[in-house]
Structure 1
Amino acid sequence: MLLTAIIIYLAITVAVGAWASKLVKNSNDFVLAGRSLPLFLSASALFATWFGSETIFGASSVFLEEGLQGVMEDPFGGALCLILFGMFYLRPMYRMGVLTIGDVFKKAFGKQVEFFLQPFFMVPVFFGYVAAQLVALSLIFGTVTELSLLQGIILSAGIVVIYTFLGGMWAISITDFIQTAMIVIGLLWVTVMISQEAGGVNEILSKAPEGSFQFFPDAGFTSWLNYFGAWIILGLGSIPSQDIYQRVMSAKSEKVAVQSTYLAGGFYLTFGLLPLFIALGAKVLYPELYLENKQMLLPSMVLAHGGLPVQIIFFGALISAIMSTASSGLLAPAALISENLIRPIFRKKLRDFHFLWILRCSVVFVALVATYMASRDSNIYELVAGASILLLVSLFAPLTAGLYWKKSLQNRGAPLHVYRYECVLDLR
């Protein structure tokens, strides 16, 4: 019955992608949903940006070993990224009206810099990111079926590619809203179940290993340096990402875009802590499952000890979170490859109809590379962390300089003080 429910859910997701294809009239619709998303779709899409395998599988297993000190990157860094993006980066980029974040670098530093950044820094980070989601989906399929890891990876890639290929950002945004609802309901339901079986929230928290809830590091330069580094890997490293850019810029107005970043940041931190609590409760109640496979603790616990309704809701939430992250992870590099690498070759000779098909073919290409990487490395948390670190060390500083350095703005005709003034208003 659980497998049947999962198949039905996947079929609905693909059907939504097919329906969303009717809304895709041009490349702008495919990449940015025509810049017409209302607040509820924009916020849910941003919330689902990273709420995938690394939050539910990776972060929960790391938390059990290292406590809060081990999960500063996610969910805390993820929430920080959304809020900082809304405060300091969103407005100047939204007003550019460009398709990708690569175009932002082109406006700030010129075509040569933008073209150099694409193949070495902007595009490669998404291969490992998507690979992590494919591994996670495969683990879920392997839990309820007899599929091997590789078979599950191939199946997962095929499903995500279909609805992303058809509907682009429209399909991602609509399915994100449905998937966000599934995530919230599923995590809350399992949290209540775990609390009741363990004798209450306080009982679970009292059995946590010593130091599990230590938020700040011990005294010492090295400890604080590592602590700061954990915050900024995702908190600053994902700011120059096409993934978050395309979700924010799909909002129907600048005001809606700003509001969606704040709402999504709050939701991300709130619900990002629930998998940590659930994992702690599962370890207390079922230590044998924890010792068997730390990454699969939560699904194994629900499958072994939860009733059918709980199983359907929880696995629906898991699949929702991972598919949402994977689909946007496919579209982001596809947009960069098509807009900033392929399109300049044809200059103005390329019609939008043909460019739209180049975008779709690029989605398939990214999926093939990610599938290969997923078959080579199955550590979810490491796959995602590696992607964020590359963005941080290569693109964060140039993007910030490009938006706030006077010389990079003079060709855009906008005084520097305008952006600084608006950021101050946001902080107030």
Structure 2
Amino acid sequence: MLITFVLLYLLLNIGIGFWASRRVHNTQDFLLAGRKLPFYISTAVVFATWFGSETLMGASSEFAEHGLLGVIEDPFGAALCLVLVGLFFAKKLYRLNLLTMGDYYRIRYNRTTELIAAFFMVISYFGWIAAQMVALGIVMNQVLSLDTKTGILVGSCIVVGYTYLGGMWSVSVTDFLQTVMIIGGLILITYNITQEVPLQTITATLPDNFFRFVPQHHSYSNWLNYIAMWITIGLGSIPQQDVFQRVMSAKSERIAVASSISAGFLYLTVAFLPLVLALYAKVLHPDLLEQDAQLLVPGLILNYASPWVKALFFGALISAIISTASGGILAPASILSENLVRPLLKKQINDKQLLLLSRLSVLVVALVSLGMAMMRSNIYELVSESSALSLVSLFVPLVAGMFWKKPNAAGAVGSMLAGMGGWLIALNLSTEINPLLYGLAGSVAGLLTGQILFRETSSKTVQFSFSKNN
């Protein structure tokens, strides 16, 4: 029953990809679903941005091992990101009518800034996508008894196939169906398990400080590292193409704002369900901790649940992973084709050729990420590293360009390079304080230095605005 259900679900995703490909007539259809998504689909699409392997497998294992402080980064930081995007960024970006986040750095600063930003944006995604591929391999191993690496290959081919065909239309339709399945499946599974063993019985066995929300030792470094956990995804994913792409696919700027905020609160609510399941696994079946901690929740369901619960859970799990993986692949492929490759071509290409270029970029991104997935196995770390990279390089120029009229291209470039350099040096030195904070400080310093040394502001910067007529 379980194997049949999983195979049917995978075939459904492939079918949706073929169906969605008929709605793709130009690059805007492929990258932004034609900017036609209604509120309910837009909310589901934004919600599915991160509700994947890092939530169901990565965050749940961190929660079981380290308590509430172990999951500040995700789901709390991830939900914070979506709410902040809705409150401060969605309306401004939607009015610009851009195809990619990379385009923003060009029209606000210049072509050089766009190139550097696009490069950092693309490489920041490889770890994120690799995490989803690893998770697919683990699930294939658990359900179909495939070797994990074979599972990674099979799962990746399915995701790449329907993303290549339907682009954002495939992502949007499958995200909506998968969100319904994820939420419904997790609610039923959690209810079923809590009826067998009350939650109070489980929490009574946990250490006193398991649910502590702030650092126990109030030292300078502890608080700085605590802040770093909040902002890794909370701020680091704001300048990312996948968030931009999903929000900009909405039918109107009002829907873009509302769906982002709604998805943030929905994410925070639903993400607690796998954390509860991880507690049950930790307390009732501690033997699962002796294996890979990422298998806590899947192991609990696979070994101790009824067949229908297994089918529901693994359907929800595959739904979540595929949603995140497809959007993750499409995002850097958009940047690669639109902001890195297209400007380097000697002759102007038409929209049909650009659409083909975008599809080929999907394959390139998938191949690089697949290589990383074969070498790395920790889902939570892969996701964290991706968000940190974009925070130290892209966040400061984005915010400064939107809310401060003075920043110039030199400051933006200096910010990205200094931020990345400071982060890499701190990583190398294994500093007590999270290296991300050194990178963020370097990014601010680079922006101010460039602003002081090159005071001239280009006419493009002066004319840049967020009015509806832009």
**Shorter-chain TM-score category?**
over 0.9
How far, CA to CA, are the matches of 1:65 and 1:12 in structure 2?
A: 36
Deviations 1:89-132 (A, max 9, x none): 1111111111000001111111111112222x110011111000
Q: Which residue of 2 aligns with 1:362?
A: 361
Asked if structure 2 preserves the Cα contact closer than 8 Å seen for 1:195 and 1:204, the reply is: no
Give the partner amino acid of 1:85.
V
How far, CA to CA, are the matches of 1:97 and 1:118 in structure 2?
A: 18
Asked if structure 2 preserves the Cα contact closer than 8 Å seen for 1:105 and 1:114, the reply is: yes
After alignment, is 184-193 or 101-110 more displaced?
184-193
Sequence identity (%)? 50
Q: 1:214 aligns with which of 208, 212, 223?
A: 212
Q: Which residue of 1 aligns with 2:60?
A: 60
How far, CA to CA, are the matches of 1:190 and 1:32 in structure 2?
A: 34
Please tell me whether residue 22 in structure 1 is matched to residue 22 in structure 2: yes
Deviation of the 1:262 alpha carbon? 1.1
Please tell me whether residue 145 in structure 1 is matched to residue 144 in structure 2: yes
Q: Which residue of 2 aligns with 1:177?
A: 176
Please tell me whether residue 37 in structure 1 is matched to residue 49 in structure 2: no
Deviation of the 1:176 alpha carbon? 0.2
Q: Which residue of 1 aligns with 2:279?
A: 280
Q: 1:203 aligns with which of 186, 191, 201?
A: 201
Deviations 1:36-90 (A, max 9, x none): 1000110001101011111111111111111111110000000000011111111
Structure 2 residue runs without a partner (length 5+): 408-460
**What secondary structure, in the 3-state scheme, does the structure 1 residue paired with 2:294 have?**
coil
How far, CA to CA, are the matches of 1:354 and 1:114 in structure 2?
A: 22
Q: Which residue of 1 aligns with 2:381?
A: 382
- With over 3 angstroms needed to count, the CA separation of the structure-2 counterparts of 1:261 and 1:413, relative to structure 1, is closer
How far, CA to CA, are the matches of 2:76 and 2:118 in structure 1?
A: 28
Please tell me whether residue 412 in structure 1 is matched to residue 464 in structure 2: yes
Asked if structure 1 preserves the Cα contact closer than 8 Å seen for 2:95 and 2:466, the reply is: no
Give the partner amino acid of 2:78.
G
In the superposition, the TM-score normalised over structure 1's length comes to 0.94
Give the partner amino acid of 1:96.
L
After alignment, is 183-192 or 264-273 more displaced?
183-192
Deviation of the 1:174 alpha carbon? 0.5
How far, CA to CA, are the matches of 2:465 and 2:396 in structure 1?
A: 22
**What secondary structure, in the 3-state scheme, does the structure 2 residue paired with 1:209 have?**
coil
Give the partner amino acid of 1:21.
S
How far, CA to CA, are the matches of 2:362 and 2:214 in structure 1?
A: 41
Asked if structure 2 preserves the Cα contact closer than 8 Å seen for 1:194 and 1:282, the reply is: no
Q: Which residue of 1 aligns with 2:99?
A: 99
After alignment, is 200-209 or 398-407 more displaced?
200-209
Asked if structure 1 preserves the Cα contact closer than 8 Å seen for 2:121 and 2:390, the reply is: yes
Please tell me whether residue 79 in structure 1 is matched to residue 79 in structure 2: yes
**What secondary structure, in the 3-state scheme, does the structure 2 residue paired with 1:10 have?**
helix
How far, CA to CA, are the matches of 2:85 and 2:98 in structure 1?
A: 17
Give the partner amino acid of 1:17.
G
Give the partner amino acid of 2:87.
M
After alignment, is 347-356 or 158-167 more displaced?
347-356
Q: Which residue of 2 aligns with 1:421?
A: none
Deviations 1:181-210 (A, max 9, x none): 111112112211221222x12222222233
After alignment, is 58-67 or 185-194 more displaced?
185-194
Please tell me whether residue 111 in structure 1 is matched to residue 111 in structure 2: yes
Q: Which residue of 2 aligns with 1:426?
A: none
Asked if structure 2 preserves the Cα contact closer than 8 Å seen for 1:128 and 1:370, the reply is: yes
How far, CA to CA, are the matches of 1:253 and 1:182 in structure 2?
A: 26
In the superposition, the TM-score normalised over structure 2's length comes to 0.86
**What secondary structure, in the 3-state scheme, does the structure 2 residue paired with 1:25 have?**
coil
Superposition map of 1:221-232 within 5 A: 221-232=220-231
After alignment, is 261-270 or 204-213 more displaced?
204-213
Asked if structure 1 preserves the Cα contact closer than 8 Å seen for 2:92 and 2:466, the reply is: no
Give the partner amino acid of 2:23.
L
Give the partner amino acid of 2:277.
I
Superposition map of 1:284-323 within 5 A: 284-323=283-322
Q: How many residues align?
A: 414
Deviation of the 1:347 alpha carbon? 6.6
Superposition map of 1:153-164 within 5 A: 153-164=152-163
How far, CA to CA, are the matches of 1:16 and 1:239 in structure 2?
A: 29
- With over 3 angstroms needed to count, the CA separation of the structure-2 counterparts of 1:286 and 1:413, relative to structure 1, is closer
How far, CA to CA, are the matches of 1:347 and 1:83 in structure 2?
A: 41
How far, CA to CA, are the matches of 1:137 and 1:62 in structure 2?
A: 19
**What secondary structure, in the 3-state scheme, does the structure 2 residue paired with 1:406 have?**
coil
Asked if structure 1 preserves the Cα contact closer than 8 Å seen for 2:42 and 2:259, the reply is: yes
Asked if structure 2 preserves the Cα contact closer than 8 Å seen for 1:161 and 1:367, the reply is: yes
How far, CA to CA, are the matches of 2:381 and 2:55 in structure 1?
A: 12
Deviations 1:198-228 (A, max 9, x none): 2x12222222233111111122212211110
**What secondary structure, in the 3-state scheme, does the structure 1 residue paired with 2:67 have?**
helix
Deviations 1:349-380 (A, max 9, x none): 20111110111111011111111100000111
Asked if structure 2 preserves the Cα contact closer than 8 Å seen for 1:278 and 1:298, the reply is: yes
Q: Which residue of 2 aligns with 1:189?
A: 188
How far, CA to CA, are the matches of 1:245 and 1:220 in structure 2?
A: 37
